[in-house]
């Protein structure tokens, strides 16, 4: 056998081993995510709140308690997360929300939201339906007309 064939076989064996490892890692993380979703659903409660402001910002700059930063993995500490400032009862709180829910949240309006800890998982209209804001057109989409 020539060295080219040996190198090709070694590369194929490494790729197959890598794919098998990724398969089992994916199964394990899928189970962990399902458990976390169950825990969040168990702790969820419907809360009426007045949305003051929303934005995407780094976890460090969002103003969350230090325990949240300590429990976040090191590789996610610099990532930007959707953050909502809301008045819940007499307190103004900083809440993190799901990326799917972030676009639906209206500013300066009272809404009912399903909250699990400091995480908003779902939004419901308080007085009438929740209006979704119109998406901005991209740079080239504006010039198509």
* CA 25 – CA 59 distance, rounded (Å): 26
Q: What's the pLDDT at 52? A: 93
* CA 67 – CA 8 distance, rounded (Å): 49
Q: What is the mean pLDDT of residues 111-135?
A: 78
Which among 24, 20, 48, 34 has a CA at the least distance from the CA of 114? 48
Place 17 in a pLDDT band, splitting at 50, 70 and 90: very high
- Inform me whether the pLDDT recorded for 25 exceeds 90: yes
Place 145 in a pLDDT band, splitting at 50, 70 and 90: low
Place 55 in a pLDDT band, splitting at 50, 70 and 90: very high
Q: What is the mean pLDDT of residues 73-79?
A: 85
Tallying the residues shown for the chain, one arrives at: 145
Q: What's the pLDDT at 130? A: 59
Which among 126, 125, 106, 122 has a CA at the least distance from the CA of 114? 122
Burial of 84 (0-12, 13-18, 19+ CB in 10 A): buried
What are the domain boundaries of the chain? 43-124
* CA 51 – CA 5 distance, rounded (Å): 64
Report which of residues 40 and 32 the model is more confident about: 32
Q: What's the pLDDT at 74? A: 86
Q: What is the mean pLDDT of residues 13-34?
A: 96
Q: What is the mean pLDDT of residues 104-123?
A: 89
The conformation of residue 44, written as its DSSP 8-state character, comes to -
Place 34 in a pLDDT band, splitting at 50, 70 and 90: very high
Show Cβ contacts of residue 50 under 8 Å, excluding neighbours closer than 6 positions. 86, 87, 108, 109, 110
Which among 106, 107, 62 has a CA at the least distance from the CA of 83? 62
Architecture of domain 43-124: Beta Barrel (2.40)
């Amino acid at each position: 056998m020539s060295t080219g064939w040996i190198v090709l076989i070694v590369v194929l064996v490494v790729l197959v081993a890598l794919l098998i490892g990724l398969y089992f890692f994916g199964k394990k993380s899928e189970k962990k995510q399902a458990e976390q979703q169950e825990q969040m659903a168990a702790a969820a409660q419907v809360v009426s709140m007045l949305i003051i402001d929303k934005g995407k910002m780094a976890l460090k700059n969002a103003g969350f308690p230090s325990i949240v930063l300590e429990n976040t993995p090191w590789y996610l500490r610099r990532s930007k997360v959707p953050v909502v400032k809301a008045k819940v009862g007499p307190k103004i709180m900083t809440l993190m929300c799901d990326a799917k829910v972030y676009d639906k949240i209206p500013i300066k309006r009272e809404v009912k939201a399903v909250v699990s800890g400091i995480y908003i998982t779902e939004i419901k209209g308080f007085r009438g339906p929740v209006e979704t804001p119109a998406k901005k057109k991209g740079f080239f989409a504006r010039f198509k007309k």
